[in-house]
Amino acid sequence: MATERKLYWGSGSTPAWRVLIALKEKGLEFDSRLIEFSKGEHKSEDILKLNPRGQVPTFVDGDVVVNESLAALLYIQDKYPSPSLLPATVEGRALVYQRLQESSNLQDKATQVILFKMKNADADVPQEKLDAAKNELKYWESYVSEEGFIAGPDFTLADVAAGPFLIAMQRFGATLEDFPKLAKYTETLKARPSVAETSPPHWKGTPGKDWLAAL
Amino acid sequence: MATERKLYWGSGSTPAWRVLIALKEKGLEFDSRLIEFSKGEHKSEDILKLNPRGQVPTFVDGDVVVNESLAALLYIQDKYPSPSLLPATVEGRALVYQRLQESSNLQDKATQVILFKMKNADADVPQEKLDAAKNELKYWESYVSEEGFIAGPDFTLADVAAGPFLIAMQRFGATLEDFPKLAKYTETLKARPSVAETSPPHWKGTPGKDWLAAL
């Protein structure tokens, strides 16, 4: 069935994964366009017309185009409020907004290590980069709530925003041994249908790197 | 008058400036805590209790603490919807969310150049860093709407998010000669009371650096 909803995504793109999860949580159908980075498809004319930065996610919903993953989450919640991925109180939402934005730090710190290893396969990662990533995980260990999610008792946009990065860090070898709450949290996430069903397809049956094994 | 609303900010912190502008736009009073970076006051016990990252802005509103500047903007709009800094339609809001999140790119690209010069005062900035900053400005030049704001005819959270970085880039010497719409846009912003009244106090009467003069 043709739909006006269309998502360009790439296997292993954690920002794109966020949008896949949100669409699944909302039960929204969409035209799924899996692109291959190795073929440069994120720089294809189709995508560049919609997203001059040539990146995924590139998300189209009728006349709306939203390409920043966190913006797409806010838009999807705004346009399709039910089932809600935001708490009912403004105080609860404040915490979700905070963790949503803060998840960029997880991305930055992990990416610093991963990019270093991509460029210097045989060199040791500078300790300061490892320390920064480990310190970031300490914050998130303290954020996991008693009830098990990042911003309180329910699964919210905060989990959609941070979850893919935490799971990807495990894929890259982070044991999370020193972070028992996060370790348990990622298991909860991975068992959730919206997350399991959208997990990067190329991960299945292939081993991950061990670049974050020190974490 | 004592208030339960409190903002820790630093002169020249563009993320903190965003929050100052939003509070002014909403006409909200607050306890203004101007900290001095040079004295390490962002790492003070007062702030670390509220914000383990030891950064500004640190924003307190009753029981709510929000420290990520974009999260603070979303919270302030959510809690105090009038006067609104979001469009009335979900399509309009989608564009605001997109530009709000995208403004992080402006920050990143400009900061790359500024940090290089802070560490290497006498060296030339690598061309690729200058090109990245210039390319970023090209995107924003294309975003300025006919009506003069970043996400349509009205001043929105998108302007609050991106404006301080564009104005700060001028302070650091960017002439915006090649970006006539942005040059006009920043003048409009600087004339707006919420922006003019919250402009970094230490800018008054002191010259800025010329590290972005190539832009």
B50 lies in the same domain as B143: no
Instruction: Give every CB contact of residue A205 below 8 A, 6+ residues apart in sequence.
Output: none
* Residue A91 in contact with partner chain B when CB distance is under 8 A: yes
Contact residues on chain B for A67, CB-CB shorter than 8 A:
98
> Does any domain span residue B64?
yes
Q: A94, B52: Cβ pair inside 8 Å?
A: no
Q: In this structure, what CATH number is given to the domain that contains residue A180?
A: 1.20.1050.10
Contacts 24+ apart (CB under 8 A), A86-89: A86/A156, A86/A157, A87/A151, A87/A152, A87/A154, A87/A156
A36 lies in the same domain as A74: yes
Of A67, A69, A139, the CB nearest to B52: A139
Instruction: Give every CB contact of residue B18 below 8 A, 6+ residues apart in sequence.
Output: B57, B69, B70, B72, B73, B160, B161, B164
B185 lies in the same domain as B122: yes
Contact residues on chain B for A100, CB-CB shorter than 8 A:
71
> Does any domain span residue B189?
yes
Report the 10 Å Cβ neighbour count for B207: 8
Q: B75, A52: Cβ pair inside 8 Å?
A: no
A110 lies in the same domain as A73: no
Arithmetic mean of pLDDT, A92-119: 95
B98 lies in the same domain as B132: yes
What is this model's ipTM? Answer: 0.96
Across the beta sheet with A58-61, the strand order is A31-35, A5-10, A58-61, A64-66
A120 lies in the same domain as A171: yes
CA distance B136 to chain A (A): 10
Contact residues on chain A for B75, CB-CB shorter than 8 A:
90, 93-94, 97-98
Report A:58-87 residues touching B (Cβ under 8 A): 63-72, 74-75, 78-79
A57 lies in the same domain as A135: no
- The model's pLDDT over B96-153, given as tens digits with 9 standing for 90+, comes to 999 999 999 999 999 999 999 999 989 999 999 999 999 999 999 999 998 889 999 9
B48 lies in the same domain as B112: no
Contact residues on chain A for B139, CB-CB shorter than 8 A:
52-53
> Does any domain span residue A27?
yes
Question: Which residue blocks in chain A are alpha helix, DSSP H?
Answer: 14-26, 45-50, 69-79, 90-119, 127-143, 157-171, 180-191, 193-196
Sign of CA dihedral B79, B85, B89, B94: negative
Q: Give the tokens for residue B189.
A: 């912003």
Q: Is the distance from CB of B31 to CB of B8 less than 8 angstroms?
A: no
A94 lies in the same domain as A199: yes
- The model's pLDDT over A119-143, given as tens digits with 9 standing for 90+, comes to 998 999 999 999 999 999 999 999 9
> Does any domain span residue B138?
yes
A75 lies in the same domain as A94: no
Q: Which residues pair with A199 in a beta bridge?
A: none
- The model's pLDDT over A23-42, given as tens digits with 9 standing for 90+, comes to 999 999 999 999 999 999 99
Q: How many domains does chain B have?
A: 2
Please say if the pLDDT value at position A99 is more than 60.
yes
Q: B98, A139: Cβ pair inside 8 Å?
A: no
Question: Which of B79, B101, B133 lies at the terminal end of a domain, its last residue?
Answer: B79
Arithmetic mean of pLDDT, B65-84: 98
A51 lies in the same domain as A117: no
- The model's pLDDT over A41-62, given as tens digits with 9 standing for 90+, comes to 999 999 999 999 999 999 999 9
Supply the range of the domain harboring residue B25.
5-79
Question: Which of A54, A79, A104 lies at the terminal end of a domain, its last residue?
Answer: A79
Q: In this structure, what CATH number is given to the domain that contains residue A74?
A: 3.40.30.10
Q: B94, A70: Cβ pair inside 8 Å?
A: no
Q: How far is CA A22 from the centre of its chain?
A: 10
B65 lies in the same domain as B100: no
